[in-house]
Chains A and B, each alone.
Chain A
Amino acid sequence: MPQTFPSWKAYACALAALVVPGLGHWTLGRRGRALAFFAIVTATFSLGLALHGALFPFHAPNWLYRLGAVAQAGLGLLYVLGRLLHWGHLEAKEVADVMFGYGNTFLVTAGLMNMLLMMDVYDIAVGRKA
């Protein structure tokens, strides 16, 4: 019988992924998976920045960029840190880069992956998934 957590603890474990990708799985004792997810999400995030993608601000003029910001915010602390340190700053020369679109795809995907990780952690914590 898989261990189940009370609701508040399940939410806390899920939200841990916002601090560090994979931390939610680590709190559930799934250390190997936690490390794998950490490597995958941070690699996707790093490649996105290397490909000159942008971390979109919530106040972007374009609605599509604002939607992208919502997805990227799934990275939690990584997104906040990146915005504060001006990683992937949205400016004309970056937008003109031929790999800009690919970089954005990697960054948005990294954020969405982390959101999926949070949902996975919650499902495991409440016993819906083994």
Chain B
Amino acid sequence: MLKDHFLSLILFSILVSLFFATMNHRDGRGFWRSFGKTMAWMVLGSLAFAYLMLWTSR
């Protein structure tokens, strides 16, 4: 399970998103918004960049 690349991406994104949301927000709503935004950028951005690298390498 720990050899799964996508799982590593998800775990890393969760930890980093939690870290910055905890540091910058005290209210629950702001915390979860920040967490969600950071997660989305990290996961979707990484996937987009990965596909871009795949397409440009062909």
A residues touching B (Cβ–Cβ < 8 Å)?
A: 33, 36-37, 40-41, 43-44, 47, 50-51, 98-99, 102, 105-106, 109, 113, 116-117, 120
Q: How far is the CA of A40 from the CA of B16 in the complex (A)?
A: 8
Report A-chain residues with C-beta under 8 Å of the C-beta of B18: 36, 40
B15 within 8 A of A: yes
Report A-chain residues with C-beta under 8 Å of the C-beta of B16: 109
Q: How many residues of B contact A (CB 8 A)?
A: 12
Q: Which residue of B lies closest to A41 (CB)?
A: B19
B11 within 8 A of A: yes
Interface pair A47/B11, CB less than 8 Å apart:
yes
Q: In terms of DSSP, what is the predominant structure of the interface of chain A?
A: helix
CB of A27 to closest CB in B, whole Å: 17
Report A-chain residues with C-beta under 8 Å of the C-beta of B5: 102
CB of B53 to closest CB in A, whole Å: 15
